Amino acid sequence: MIRLFLRDLRLAIRAGGGFGLGLAFFLIVTVLVPFGVGPENATLRAIAPGILWVGALLACLLSLDRIFQLDYEDGSLDLLATAPIPLEGVVAMKAAAHWVTTGLPLTLSAPVLGLLLNLAPQAYLWLVATLAIGTPALSMIGAFGAALTVGLKRGGLLLSLLVLPLYVPTLIFGSETVRRGAEGLATETPLLLLAGITLGAMALLPFAAAAAIRINLR
């Protein structure tokens, strides 16, 4: 399982769809927003939590189709499905590799990009915390969506349409926690709900994704 995880990390880095693409998209979003809404500090500070979370969410979408598609095309997925290791574990390792190459860089870069949107100083800790807690759910949900569309040609658009509605609760509670942190309000409820979504996704979706892969490989 560890070898599979390391293999996916190497493939993501070589393909260039991990760090660079997601970070570049995240940077573009945060740079363009001030041009669209105006340079007023009060306006930017009010929308910064939502914009940063939307940017991170959309950046995670860019590489979802690569989670299983390359293995499906070269036949590796058939071997993994018949290997003496649980397919659910394979799904979990691939989702973990996606998070390390996409979600983790986005989490670490978010405070720097928050400066461009005049994010409130007291919100930076909550921004990093919510992204660290919420982006694993984005990767796991994305792995489930990728498993559903693994056998389809040009399934990237369908994958986005399937995954985006499932991303909405994570987006709501993540941005709400940052907003409350910026205003000095209580953050326990949305933060706990965000953590619950992540834990639920990690507990249930590997089994659902593995079942979808088995159906698509028949």
Q: Give 110-132 pLDDT, tens digit per residue.
A: 999 999 899 999 999 999 999 99
Q: Are the CB atoms for 34 and 117 separated by under 8 Å? A: yes
Q: Distance (Å, rounded) from C-alpha 27 to C-alpha 169? A: 23
DSSP category for residue 39: S
pLDDT at 15 over 70: no
pLDDT at residue 155 in the model:
67
Q: Distance (Å, rounded) from C-alpha 187 to C-alpha 127? A: 12
- Residue 114 C-alpha from the chain's centroid: 18
Q: Are the CB atoms for 198 and 131 separated by under 8 Å? A: no
pLDDT at 47 over 90: yes
Q: Are the CB atoms for 96 and 18 separated by under 8 Å? A: no
Q: 0.85 cut: is pTM over it?
A: yes
Q: Distance (Å, rounded) from C-alpha 214 to C-alpha 159? A: 18
Residues 160-170: what's their mean pLDDT?
Answer: 93
Q: What is the mean pLDDT of the chain?
A: 89
Q: Distance (Å, rounded) from C-alpha 97 to C-alpha 84? A: 21
pLDDT at 20 over 80: no
Cα–Cα nearest to 113, from 46, 189, 177, 32: 32
Cα–Cα nearest to 62, from 110, 111, 108, 29: 29
pLDDT at residue 193 in the model:
97
Q: Distance (Å, rounded) from C-alpha 218 to C-alpha 214? A: 7
Residues 89-108: what's their mean pLDDT?
Answer: 92
Q: Is 83 exposed, middle or buried (0-12, 13-18, 19+ CB in 10 A)?
A: exposed
Give the dihedral sign, CA 143/147/148/150.
positive
Percent of the chain residues topping a pLDDT of 90: 56
pLDDT at residue 19 in the model:
60
Tell me if residue 67 falls in helix, strand or coil.
coil
